[in-house]
Chains A and B, each alone.
Chain A
């Protein structure tokens, strides 16, 4: 088996760099590892033996306020009493509701994980995938105790219905979007359960940066006999008749494939680019062309080298906000969060606000002794919405404007506290990692591009109309994120087609 990697190293969005000053490490894309307890590759290939290590911060995600109001902080699931206390400062009813929903969700987390690590149910030819047909909806909603009508609603509508506290709503809106679900997406009930109830508070931090996880995976593959060829951009899938028999690289090298070719690039690159439109049926050509990217998963990464970690005004009420793994900065309430999200989704630069984190608080190895590496995400419009010159202007000016906001929330965030900063924008993510238009899911999260319809119904089982060509990237279910679910599900299809052993299920149901 050989892996051909376009970049000089493996890992894609799992990349940790020193983009400003040597010794200050920043995760340039993936940061929060919420799937380590679930991703089969982690346990099956014993990645901790290959060097993967993590820490699990207690205070997980919170929102700080410029006027010093108490923060709202969600802690780890084993510290629900602290979450309750934080929310109860505003509303005991909201604290009860959130903590009970969270507790019941975590009881069935394996079922939720199974939804990611199982290929979506196939849609019979001529029929339309119905999101309500998901067999797991009934047991999930019954167990959690959520009204089943929520399945039809948008996450925003559900959050508004369940919680009265504006400060909590502001946090949950952002969290929902941060973890992949468009806040206004109708029929978003299952996605709400995933993004808000399940993913909240289960985020781990890779010691040394997320890069170490990519390295551990590479080491495990090497141990299993896989060959890696870096700086090898595949430009063409070589066909014999209607069967994939190898690939050709941009520099003219050709590699034969006796059994399968599996592509982790996005669906348009794979089909329209590497296979070629002339080799596709009219239906597949049309489907691939119609596939859409962004705007829901388009990020910019802001990186900062600091003398001191931010000290928030809201820490007067709860000092935990200063150690919180993820902090929302720049939002006064739910309207700000919604305006921010909708601006980015509609192609505009939003207000100067972000979700930020300081990894050196939890892992001092990510910065020089006593100093801090801070990073954050802005939700930005897709790369093609701005010109090259406009993105250059954004890179030159946006961080400074954000710093003004940050200082209102954390007075020690002055220019003197900043040794260096940099902004990494969606157009750069596209050119560097081939996240199309900066979309880390390499495909919009919309009802017609999810589950049994991702990337499109005929390709949703990880097979293509080209014999022996499979899809294993984020354009397939369950989309982007460091879960390794697309590859795991693709392997299930490959194993079934080629009489290979099914994946081990030791200790899990999927």
Chain B
């Protein structure tokens, strides 16, 4: 069943998809890894109003997703291992499969902070986790689907 993008139900379905991959714990790095996504309302995205910010936390524990939720505020720097930040439109285009997340990182449309060497070692895994929601997650776009063109 399709859920609205970034809604609690949509996030829950994504977490379930991650945890349904039985090979992930074997390939994922051991320990707890906290990833923070900061999507800024850019005046184009109909899901994150201009001037507002969507905060999203993904926590992986030995390759299992133990937390995936939106939060009211950004976590403190000591509470996260990686931060991905950028305009909401870009994250939505990645979700819709219109933009390669790695390209978005390389061209600076999504800014990345964290241990880059670790990220590189696990680049395939990161891509796989993103591909899970791009390729298999049923997403509802009630306020329009990217690309948005010049206006939302």
> Measuring CB to CB, which residues of chain A are less than 8 angstroms from any residue of chain B?
104, 107-108, 110-111, 114-115, 118, 121, 133-136, 138-140, 142-143, 502, 505, 509-510
Contact = CB atoms under 8 A, between A and B. Distances in A.
Interface residues of B, number: 15
Contact of B113 (A115, A118, A138, A510): A138
Nearest to B126: A509
A108 B116 contact: yes
A333 B102 CA distance: 44
B120 interface: yes
Given A111-B116, A139-B116, A509 B123 contact: yes
A111 B114 CA distance: 13
Contact of A509 (B111, B115, B120): B120
B128 to A, nearest CB: 13
B103 interface: yes
B120 A134 contact: no
A509 B102 contact: yes
B112 A139 contact: yes
B107 interface: yes
Nearest to A505: B102
A138 B102 CA distance: 16
25 contacts: A107-B117, A107-B120, A108-B116, A108-B120, A110-B123, A111-B120, A114-B106, A118-B103, A118-B106, A121-B107, A121-B108, A133-B108, A135-B106, A135-B108, A135-B111, A138-B111, A138-B113, A142-B113, A142-B116, A143-B117, A505-B102, A509-B102, A509-B123, A510-B102, A510-B106
Given A110-B123, A509-B123, A136 B117 contact: no
B106 A509 contact: yes
B120 A110 contact: yes
B108 A134 contact: yes
A108 B117 contact: yes
Contacts of A104: 117
B80 to A, nearest CB: 15
A114 B112 CA distance: 14
A87 B43 CA distance: 55
Nearest to B121: A107
Interface in B81-113: 100, 102-103, 105-108, 111-113
A505 B102 CA distance: 10
A488 to B, nearest CB: 13
Nearest to A121: B107
B93 to A, nearest CB: 14
Contacts of A108: 116-117, 120
A135 B120 contact: no
A510 B123 CA distance: 11
Contacts of A135: 105-108, 111
Contacts of B111: 135, 138
Given A107-B117, A142-B116, 12 more contacts: A108-B116, A110-B120, A115-B106, A118-B103, A118-B106, A121-B108, A135-B106, A138-B113, A139-B116, A140-B116, A509-B106, A510-B106
B150 to A, nearest CB: 15
A138 B105 CA distance: 12
A328 B115 CA distance: 37
A114 B102 CA distance: 10
A114 B100 CA distance: 14
Given A110-B123, A111-B120, A136 B113 contact: no
A140 B108 CA distance: 13
Contacts of A138: 111, 113
Contacts of B123: 110, 509
A233 to B, nearest CB: 37
Contacts of A509: 102, 106, 120, 123
Q: Identify which of B112, B115, B117 gathers the most chain A CB atoms within 10 Å of its CB.
A: B117
Please provide the 5 A-B residue pairs with the shortest distance between their CB atoms, ordered closest to farther: A135-B108, A107-B117, A139-B116, A143-B116, A118-B106
A115 B106 CA distance: 7
A147 to B, nearest CB: 17
Contacts of A110: 120, 123
Contacts of A143: 115-117
A85 B100 CA distance: 44
B44 to A, nearest CB: 16
Nearest to A502: B100
Q: Identify which of B100, B106, B112, B123 gathers the most chain A CB atoms within 10 Å of its CB.
A: B106
A133 B109 CA distance: 11
A122 to B, nearest CB: 9
B120 A136 contact: no
A114 B106 CA distance: 7
Contacts of B117: 104, 107-108, 143
A94 B117 CA distance: 24
Contacts of A121: 107-108
Contacts of B105: 135
A134 B103 CA distance: 14
Contacts of B103: 118
